[in-house]
Amino acid sequence: MIKLQPEKFELETTTVWSFPERGKWATHQPNFRGNWAPQIPRNLILRYSKPKDLVLDQMCGCGTTLIECKLTGRNAIGLDINPKMVEMTKNNVKFDIDEDIPKTEILVEVGDARNLKDVKDNSVDLIATHPPYVDIIKYSDGKIERDLSNIHNIDKFCEEMEKVASECFRVLKPKKYCGILIGDTRRKTYFTPIAYRIMQKFIEVGFKLKEDIIKQQWNCETTPYWTEKLKEYNFLLIMHEHLFVFEK
Ligand SMILES: C[S@@+](CC[C@H](N)C(=O)[O-])C[C@H]1O[C@@H](n2cnc3c(N)ncnc32)[C@H](O)[C@@H]1O
């Protein structure tokens, strides 16, 4: 019998979040590389939406956000450019929930976050999403052309993310929120911002910045490699990401 709900969960109250233990309840996949800890969408969902609301994750990966929607009684749309991710998400949202949680609809299909053609204007109550961080993790090994994790050039990545931002603004209802987690990188040993550039794109399409939350990173797979490099070139390990919350 799987444990459906977290044993200990408290809503975050500050702008620094840290989850040394990645949530393992329900069908979450703690070992999947590149997903976000379920505590992140759970915090966004509980703080910025109510039961029966419609939540969108248009880069849903293996479905962490969608699982949390089902567990908290929110309707949800999950899209991903990668059919394998869509299959994984569909499997991960297949479980029975307790009777006291409102029954909801969870729709999962292949789609491009830059063109949410089947999502109506002003129809979504909350967006909670987590794009690739350029090509730091490649989700389709270069095999899916429209996969944003194939893009190495940061200017090009930001241009494509501007299309994602515009679509977020179009589909979200006024006064509602969009949470997006994004990290930075290092190029030729120099700290190379991605997060603040993406933040700027969201502001340019019309959003107001409600929160800039620093999320501490744990269990980075690249750590042993970088530990060597940082000694050699004298730089610091990047151990944080930004969770921006925008208001339409
Ligand atoms: C960081 S992962 C998301 C992980 C997710 N939060 C989870 O917990 O499983 C980024 C996802 O974006 C997807 N993706 C890349 N380009 C996309 C695009 N143009 N439209 C939709 N999804 C895309 C990738 O396939 C990958 O699954």
User: What is the position in ligand 1's atom list of the atom closest to the CA of 112?
Assistant: 20
Ordered DSSP codes for 25-75: STT--TTSTTPPPTHHHHHHHHHH--TT-EEEETT-TT-HHHHHHHHHT-E
Exposure of 56 in the CB half-sphere (CA atoms within 13 A): 27
Other Cβ atoms less than 10 A from the Cβ of 26: the count is: 20
- Spatial separation of the C-alpha atoms in residues 231 and 122, rounded to whole Å: 50
Give the integer Cα–Cα distance in Å for 107 and 148: 22
Task: Give the position, in ligand 1's atom list, of the atom nearest the Cα of 129.
Answer: 6
The residues spanned by each domain of the chain are 20-247
Q: Where are the alpha helices (DSSP H) in 73-221?
A: 83-92, 154-171, 195-204
User: How far is ligand 1, taken at its centre, from the CA of residue 234, in Å?
Assistant: 32
pLDDT digits (tens, 9 = 90+) for 35-54: 999 999 999 999 999 999 99
pLDDT of residue 78: 98
Superfamily of domain 20-247: Vaccinia Virus protein VP39 (3.40.50.150)
Q: Is the CB of 39 under 6 A from ligand 1?
A: no
The pLDDT > 70 percentage for the chain reads: 98
- Output the residue whose Cα is nearest ligand 1's atom 8: 35
pTM of the model: 0.96
| Angle, in degrees to the nearest 10, between helices 64-72 and 83-92 | 30
**171-228 pLDDT tens trace:** 999 999 999 999 999 999 899 999 999 999 999 999 999 999 999 998 765 667 777 8
**139-179 pLDDT, tens per residue?**
998 899 999 999 999 999 999 999 999 999 999 999 999 99
Residue 105 has pLDDT above 90, yes or no: yes
The values of phi and psi at residue 175, to 5°, are: 70, 5
